[in-house]
Amino acid sequence: LKDEAKYRACAEAKTIACFYVDDDWDASFYLKSLIADFRADPYILHSVTDPYTFYTNLIWSYFDNTIDLHAGFSWIGCGSIFLREYAQRHLQYLQIHLKNHRNLVYLSDVFFSIWLNDIPSQFNMNIRNLPTGHAGESFSSTANFLRNQHDSSVLAIRILEHNLRQNQSNDTNYIGFSRKQNRHFPYCVKSSSPKDDFIFFTNILPMDIQTIPFNISKDFERSTRNNLPTGSAVSFFSSHTTLLVVDNNPKTCWQSGRNVRQGEYFAMDFLYIRTNLSFSVTIGHSWEIQKNVVINLSFDGLWWITYRAIKGITIRSQNSTSNQQQYVIIFNSTEFNSGFHSFRFIAFNASRVSSLGEFQVCDVKIITNTTITRL
């Protein structure tokens, strides 16, 4: 059964969602963050991958507003959570659309994320291998694996594009692909902290995936190994990634790579509603940029309220080892104005277009333990 087995198991689950990880990956150090991310936005696939694969998966996106196409690729083996009903529906898709390609059912993972027709929420992480055993030959080293993987990637988008374009089917067994995006949040880059107690994220992607043109007649190989990224853009992303905010090293910084635009932000998800939280944010961008940042707080990431006061916020400057000036901003929500002591999300939004430079965030740390507030 290979890949199909995991969807069969999930389809029989007694829970509304399933967690999956291959037995050669250690998901323990980001599991809390992955669960919290799923609970905040349960109607999309949540997964984890490394920086290069994250960048690759962005390139392997498909958008065509004329047919409600907004699909993206993600492997699920490094840790993923998805609704049980998605596994059940996927098994039906496999029966209908791969009835003449049964040899490709073994690679069901290649079809799963694309056929969901909604960009997955992926963590950008330094993933870790578990100690290897002696389980025999891996599936990926078997004969014809790469050829079948390529054929599956091409067939997945061909089937999805064709069915969205034709809009209907006379087949009584036909189950339509979803046209509606059910996501709560915009597309983001996310990395969880080493202690798995918060997520740093930003809506500044290394490229605008929604404007990448797509034409099935010439772009059908987009999500294959024939389209692996190279060059300075992917190198910059890997060397200035969001992981540098959560590496416990203020000398290294995430950089947005270009001037800040209005509406862009960096943010933290503290996994649950916290009361009297203290944390620090070390920035490398100029204070002129920071002065144009609006601080917003939220319980759920959907409804936000602006914190306009300076009460509970202290700032000090320091020099990094390269003599670059940094600012350490300490937030103590115990001292925030009344009504602002509890929140789960905090976002730092650019309030205007800036020609002053890019965001640079070098470190985020929780300073004290906090209590959980239950609504």
Whole-angstrom distance, CA of residue 252 vs CA of residue 360 = 10
Cα-only R_g, the chain = 22
**Res 296 pLDDT > 70:** yes
Which of 77-91, 295-309, 342-356 is the least confident region? 342-356
The whole model's pTM is what? Answer: 0.91
Beta bridge partners of 361: 254, 283
Whole-angstrom distance, CA of residue 261 vs CA of residue 351 = 8
**pLDDT band (50, 70, 90) for residue 173:** low
Domain residue limits, the chain: 4-166, 248-372
**pLDDT band (50, 70, 90) for residue 171:** low
**Res 182 pLDDT > 60:** yes
Task: State which fold the 248-372 domain adopts.
Answer: Jelly Rolls (2.60.120)
Mean pLDDT in the chain?
90
Which of 222-231, 261-270, 365-374 is the least confident region? 365-374
Whole-angstrom distance, CA of residue 362 vs CA of residue 373 = 29
Tell me the helix, strand and coil percentages in the chain, rounded to 5.
30, 25, 45
pLDDT digits (tens, 9 = 90+) for 189-212: 999 999 999 999 999 999 999 999
Segment (H or E) for 124: strand 121-124
